Structure 1
Amino acid sequence: MNDYVLVLVSAALVSHMLLQQQPPSRLRVQVCGLACALTIALGITGGQALERWVVAPWQLEDLRLFLLLPWLGLLAWSVPQALARLRPQWPSEGLALPLLGNAVVLGLSLQAMVERQEWLATLGCSVMAGLGFWLALALFDDLVQRSDHADIPAALRGLPITLVGAGVMAMAFSGFNGLFTQ
């Protein structure tokens, strides 16, 4: 569980850094969080479907990654497109790069393919991971906005305070380790 929390926080940090390249807005961060949550949910359930209907029957275990990457690439392109069609006023342009570089989706999809859980358990895990990623992304946005207005020493402004916040957030999330065990 600790490894998953660290991957979740680091992926949220990277996605947040990619979002900061354009003018930041709270709506853009929320749209990215929604897009990432949808991509995680669809990526994991689609990965499990690939495992059951393509990999296992044809014994292609060594090619899991090469079968999963096109699926995740398609999701990274189509989820922002679908959001742009559903809500044209939402800032969904430029979200394909953070979604494509999101290692959480790939790691959790590969884990779900190997574990062979039931559909409901996989869907629940993917939805919770997507919501957790969305929460981590929103917390990073809040950290950056608060640190812009706080009295922080010059040496800690920008990336250093964001990395300190990521460490504190990883420790806080790792407090949930073992909370939901069976």
Structure 2
Amino acid sequence: MNDHALVLVSAALLSHLLLQQQPASRLRLHVCGLACALSIVCGVTGGQLLERLLVVPWQLQDLRLFLLLPWMALLAWGVTRALARLRPDWPTADLTWPIVSNALLLGLALQVVGEHREWLAALGYGLVAGMGFWLALVLFDDLMQRSKHPDVPKALRGLPVTLLGAGVMTLAFSGLNGLLGQ
């Protein structure tokens, strides 16, 4: 569970830092969270489908990573395009790269596929990870907004308080270790 918490927080931190390059609104942040959550769910279930239809019958276990990488890139592109078509007023421009840069997508898909989980368990695992990622992204945004308060020392504003927040979030998510049975 500690590894999961570290990957979740580091992926959210990286995505949040990529989103900070442009002026981010709350709507853009939630659209990115939704797109990442959908990508995680589709990536895990599609990874299982690839495993059962392609990897196991043709004994391509050593090439699993090279089969999942294009799948994740296709999802990052497809989910943002689908959201743009469904809701044209949502800010989906330039969301493909934060989704592609998420190691969480690939790591979670590899873990679920490697453990040979059932469909429902994999879907639940993807949903929980996607919602956790969305929550971590929103918490980072809230932390950045609160760090602009005049009571926060100038030396801690920006990246230092973000890294401190990432450490505290990792400890909080690690506190959930053992909450759900293995």
TM-score normalised per structure 1: 0.98
Q: In the TM superposition, what whole-angstrom CA distance separates every residue of 1:32-79 from its partner, at most 9, and x where no partner exists?
A: 000000000000110011111100010000000110011001001010
- 1:24 Cα deviation (Å)? 1.5
Number of aligned residue pairs: 182
AA in 1 matched with 2:128: M
Give distance in 2, aligned partners of 1:52 and 1:101: 26
Q: In the TM superposition, what whole-angstrom CA distance separates every residue of 1:57-113 from its partner, at most 9, and x where no partner exists?
A: 100000001100110010010101100000111101000000000000000000011
Give distance in 1, aligned partners of 2:44 and 2:97: 19
Q: Does 1:78 align with 2:78?
A: yes
Three-state SS of the structure 2 residue aligned to 1:34 is helix
AA in 1 matched with 2:44: I
Q: Which residue of 2 aligns with 1:154?
A: 154
Q: Does 1:23 align with 2:23?
A: yes
Three-state SS of the structure 2 residue aligned to 1:120 is helix
Q: Which residue of 1 aligns with 2:57?
A: 57
Q: Which residue of 1 aligns with 2:168?
A: 168
Q: In the TM superposition, what whole-angstrom CA distance separates every residue of 1:104-124 from its partner, at most 9, and x where no partner exists?
A: 000000001110011000000
- 1:150 Cα deviation (Å)? 4.3
- 1:149 Cα deviation (Å)? 2.0
Q: Does 1:100 align with 2:84?
A: no
Give distance in 2, aligned partners of 1:30 and 1:41: 16
Give distance in 2, aligned partners of 1:150 and 1:111: 44
Give distance in 2, aligned partners of 1:150 and 1:55: 56
Q: Does 1:43 align with 2:43?
A: yes
Give distance in 1, aligned partners of 2:80 and 2:145: 25
AA in 2 matched with 1:177: N
- 1:19 Cα deviation (Å)? 0.3
AA in 2 matched with 1:62: D
Task: Give the gaps of 5 or more residues in structure 1.
Answer: none
Q: In the TM superposition, what whole-angstrom CA distance separates every residue of 1:122-163 from its partner, at most 9, and x where no partner exists?
A: 000001100000000000011001111241112111000000
Moved over 4 A (4+): none
Q: Which residue of 1 aligns with 2:121?
A: 121
